[in-house]
């Protein structure tokens, strides 16, 4: 089992930390006190970015040395929110948060995943009536395999996990966030995931 640091104590970070702990991993959660994120990242083998996407790049770039040689699992989406607080546009059109993180953290293995669903599905994919998809984007095959194993620990069947390729493919899954506000306005906050029907 891995030592994992979760950056972000909101609904996403809290649910991921609890589920990874239940799966037997040693999990530390960084709160907002000065130095907490650096200390958590330094002690971990895997770091989960569950911070608000609009601030993630600045926060994680400041942890360049602590994240050196680590796997960074990025589950956030960087958006410009509308008046109702729901995503209205992408913060990095023509790119993605994951790509920006990888550029800023060249010695870190960034893997994008779990960003195409409402947060309850991340840790309980079987709650949906149809099998959901979890997509992986990243440049390092070994890092993606490690993250794939983590997803299985979170309840994802292997056949539900799709490797899309390099980190550049994250711009496709991050763009899927633009579906979310429209789905929420139509159906409320009922758990859902954006999946590929086969």
The pLDDT mean for the chain works out to: 95
Instruction: Note the pLDDT of residue 33.
Output: 79
Q: Residue 73: what are its φ and ψ, rounded to 5°?
A: -90, 110
- Please count the CA atoms within 13 angstroms of the CA of 132 that sit on its side-chain side: 26
- The pLDDT tens digits for 86-145 are 899 999 999 999 999 999 999 999 999 999 999 999 999 999 999 999 999 999 999 999
Please count the structural domains in the chain: 1
| 182 in a structural domain | yes
State how far the Cα of 16 lies from the Cα of 174, in Å rounded to an integer.
19
Question: Does residue 111 form part of some domain?
Answer: yes
In-domain check, residue 57: yes
pLDDT of residue 90: 97
Q: Is residue 31 part of a domain?
A: yes
Helix, coil or strand: residue 165: strand
Share of the chain above pLDDT 70, in %: 99
Q: Which domain holds residue 29?
A: 3-187
Q: How confident is the model at residue 198 (pLDDT cuts 50, 70, 90)?
A: confident
In a domain, 194, yes or no: no
pLDDT, position 13:
96
Mean pLDDT of 158-179: 97
Q: What is the percentage of the chain residues whose pLDDT exceeds 90?
A: 90
What's the pLDDT at 2? 77
Residue 100 within a domain: yes
Give me the CATH number covering residue 134. Answer: 3.40.50.720
């Amino acid at each position: 089992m891995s030592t994992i640091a979760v950056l972000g104590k909101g609904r996403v970070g809290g649910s991921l930390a609890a589920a990874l702990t239940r799966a037997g991993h040693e999990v530390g959660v960084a709160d907002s006190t000065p130095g907490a994120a650096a200390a958590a990242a330094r002690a971990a083998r895997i770091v989960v970015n569950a911070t608000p996407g609009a601030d993630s790049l600045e926060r994680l770039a400041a942890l360049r040395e602590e994240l050196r040689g680590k796997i960074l699992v990025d589950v956030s989406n960087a958006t410009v929110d509308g008046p109702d607080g729901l995503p209205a546009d992408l913060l990095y059109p023509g790119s993605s948060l994951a790509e920006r993180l990888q550029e800023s953290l060249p010695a870190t293995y960034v893997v994008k995943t779990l960003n195409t669903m409402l947060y309850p599905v991340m840790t309980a994919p079987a709650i949906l009536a149809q099998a959901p998809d979890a997509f992986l984007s990243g440049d390092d095959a070994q890092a993606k395999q490690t993250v794939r194993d983590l997803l299985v620990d979170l309840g994802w069947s292997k056949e539900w996990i799709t490797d899309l390729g390099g980190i550049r493919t994250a711009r496709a899954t991050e763009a899927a966030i633009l579906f979310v506000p429209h789905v929420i306005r139509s159906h409320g906050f009922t758990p859902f995931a954006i999946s590929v029907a086969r």
